[in-house]
A and B are shown apart, each in its own frame.
Chain A
Amino acid sequence: MKKNKTILISVLVLFSALLLSSCAGNSTLNNATSWPGITAEENTIYTAYNSFVSAVEDGQKKWSYPAEVDKTLLFYAAPVIDGDLLYTGTYHNQIHILNKNTGELVQKIELPSSKSKIIASPVINDGLMIIPSSDGAIAAYAVSDYSNPVWTTKLSSEVWTTPLVLDGKVYVSSLDKKLNMIDLKTGAMLESVETNGAIMDHLVYANGVIYFSTFGKEVHTYHPGNGMVETIVQTTGEIWAAPLVLEDRIITADMQGNVYCSDLKTEKSLWTLNNITGDGSPIIAAPVQLSNQNILIAAENGDLFIYDLDGKSVGTRSTKLKTMSSPVVYDDSFATAFIPGDSLLKSFSNDLKENWLYQGESNTAAKTPAK
Chain B
Amino acid sequence: MWQSFVNIFLDILLYIYKLVDNFGVAIILFTILIKLVIYPLMRSQIKSSAAMMEMQKSPRYLEMMEKYKDNKEKLAEEQMKLYKEMGVNPTASCLPTLIQLPVIFALYQAVIAAIVSTPLGMLDLTKRIYPGLLKIGEIFPINPSFLWMNLGQPERLFLPGINFGIPVLAILVVVTTILQTKLTMQSPTGGSTAGAGGSGAMMTGMMNIYMPVLMGFMAYTLASGLSLYFLISNVFTIVQYGVEGKLNWSALKFGKQKTAVLTGPAPVSIPQKPKTTVSTSAPAKSSTTTSSAAREEEKIDYREFKNKKKPKKNL
For the A-B complex with A17-B217, A117-B117, A215-B137 known, give 17 more contacts whose Cβ atoms are closer than 8 Å.
A1-B199, A5-B203, A6-B202, A9-B207, A20-B104, A23-B109, A31-B116, A34-B119, A160-B119, A197-B137, A198-B137, A198-B140, A200-B119, A238-B126, A238-B136, A282-B127, A324-B120
Q: Say yes or no: is B87 at the interface (Cβ < 8 Å to chain A).
A: no
Contact pattern, B 210-230, Cβ under 8 Å of A = 1, otherwise 0: 100010011001110010000
Q: Across the interface, do A32 and B202 meet the contact criterion of CB distance under 8 Å? A: no
The answer to whether residues A9 and B137 also contact, given A21-B221, A27-B109, A284-B123 and a CB cut-off of 8 A, is no
Complex contacts, B112 vs chain A, CB 8 Å: 23-24, 27, 31
Contact pattern, A 199-221, Cβ under 8 Å of B = 1, otherwise 0: 01000000000000011110000
Q: Across the interface, do A34 and B118 meet the contact criterion of CB distance under 8 Å? A: yes
State A20–B131 Cα separation when bound (angstroms): 28
With beta carbons under 8 angstroms apart, the residue of A21, A134, A300 that contacts B117 is A134
Chain B interface secondary structure, helix, strand, loop or mixed?
helix
Question: Smallest Cβ distance from A93 to chain B, in angstroms?
Answer: 14
Question: Smallest Cβ distance from A317 to chain B, in angstroms?
Answer: 22
The answer to whether residues A13 and B210 also contact, given A2-B277, A31-B112 and a CB cut-off of 8 A, is yes
Question: Smallest Cβ distance from B204 to chain A, in angstroms?
Answer: 11
Complex contacts, B203 vs chain A, CB 8 Å: 5, 9
Q: Which residue of A lies closest to B223 (CB)?
A: A24
Question: Smallest Cβ distance from B243 to chain A, in angstroms?
Answer: 28
State A13–B140 Cα separation when bound (angstroms): 36
* 91-124 of chain B: CB within 8 A of chain A: 101, 104-105, 108-109, 112-113, 116-124
Give me the 8 closest cross-chain CB pairs, A-B, nearest first: A215-B137, A27-B112, A175-B141, A31-B121, A197-B137, A238-B137, A31-B117, A216-B137
Complex contacts, A214 vs chain B, CB 8 Å: 137
Interface residues of B (CB under 8 A from A): 72, 101, 104-105, 108-109, 112-113, 116-124, 126-127, 135-137, 140-141, 198-199, 202-203, 206-207, 210, 214, 217-218, 221-223, 226, 277
Question: Smallest Cβ distance from A201 to chain B, in angstroms?
Answer: 9
Q: Say yes or no: is A176 at the interface (Cβ < 8 Å to chain B).
A: yes
State A16–B221 Cα separation when bound (angstroms): 14
Complex contacts, A1 vs chain B, CB 8 Å: 72, 199
* Number of interface residues, chain A, beta carbon within 8 A: 46
* 15-63 of chain A: CB within 8 A of chain B: 16-17, 19-21, 23-24, 27, 30-35
State A1–B221 Cα separation when bound (angstroms): 33
Q: Across the interface, do B199 and A2 meet the contact criterion of CB distance under 8 Å? A: yes
Question: Smallest Cβ distance from A136 to chain B, in angstroms?
Answer: 11
Q: Which residue of B lies closest to A16 (CB)?
A: B214
Q: Across the interface, do A23 and B214 meet the contact criterion of CB distance under 8 Å? A: no
Complex contacts, A175 vs chain B, CB 8 Å: 140-141
Complex contacts, A2 vs chain B, CB 8 Å: 198-199, 202, 277
Complex contacts, A5 vs chain B, CB 8 Å: 199, 202-203
A sample of 14 inter-chain contacts (CB < 8 A) reads A2-B277, A9-B210, A13-B214, A21-B221, A27-B112, A30-B120, A30-B121, A31-B116, A31-B121, A33-B120, A134-B117, A197-B137, A198-B141, A215-B137
Complex contacts, A324 vs chain B, CB 8 Å: 119-120, 123
State A175–B117 Cα separation when bound (angstroms): 11
State A238–B141 Cα separation when bound (angstroms): 13
Question: Smallest Cβ distance from B245 to chain A, in angstroms?
Answer: 30
Q: Across the interface, do B120 and A23 meet the contact criterion of CB distance under 8 Å? A: no
Complex contacts, B108 vs chain A, CB 8 Å: 20, 23-24
State A103–B137 Cα separation when bound (angstroms): 40
Q: Say yes or no: is A255 at the interface (Cβ < 8 Å to chain B).
A: yes
With beta carbons under 8 angstroms apart, the residue of A35, A177, A282 that contacts B120 is A35
Complex contacts, B113 vs chain A, CB 8 Å: 27
State A200–B210 Cα separation when bound (angstroms): 45
Question: Smallest Cβ distance from A281 to chain B, in angstroms?
Answer: 10
Interface centre among A24, A157, A216 (most CB of B within 10 A): A24
Q: Across the interface, do A20 and B199 meet the contact criterion of CB distance under 8 Å? A: no
Q: Which residue of B lies closest to A255 (CB)?
A: B126
Q: Across the interface, do B126 and A20 meet the contact criterion of CB distance under 8 Å? A: no
Q: Which residue of A lies closest to B206 (CB)?
A: A9
Question: Smallest Cβ distance from A264 to chain B, in angstroms?
Answer: 24
State A207–B16 Cα separation when bound (angstroms): 43
Q: Which residue of B lies closest to A284 (CB)?
A: B123
Q: Across the interface, do B141 and A157 meet the contact criterion of CB distance under 8 Å? A: yes
State A35–B119 Cα separation when bound (angstroms): 8
Q: Which residue of B lies closest to A175 (CB)?
A: B141
State A76–B121 Cα separation when bound (angstroms): 14
Q: Which residue of B lies closest to A216 (CB)?
A: B137
Question: Smallest Cβ distance from B13 to chain A, in angstroms?
Answer: 15
Question: Smallest Cβ distance from A325 to chain B, in angstroms?
Answer: 11
Q: Across the interface, do B101 and A16 meet the contact criterion of CB distance under 8 Å? A: yes
Question: Smallest Cβ distance from A158 to chain B, in angstroms?
Answer: 7
State A282–B199 Cα separation when bound (angstroms): 57
With beta carbons under 8 angstroms apart, the residue of A20, A33, A177 that contacts B218 is A20
Q: Say yes or no: is A119 at the interface (Cβ < 8 Å to chain B).
A: yes
* 169-191 of chain A: CB within 8 A of chain B: 175-177
The answer to whether residues A24 and B72 also contact, given A5-B203, A16-B214, A30-B120 and a CB cut-off of 8 A, is no
With beta carbons under 8 angstroms apart, the residue of B105, B118, B135 that contacts A19 is B105
Complex contacts, A215 vs chain B, CB 8 Å: 136-137, 140
Complex contacts, B199 vs chain A, CB 8 Å: 1-2, 5
State A215–B123 Cα separation when bound (angstroms): 12
Complex contacts, A20 vs chain B, CB 8 Å: 104-105, 108, 218, 222, 226
Q: Which residue of B lies closest to A12 (CB)?
A: B210
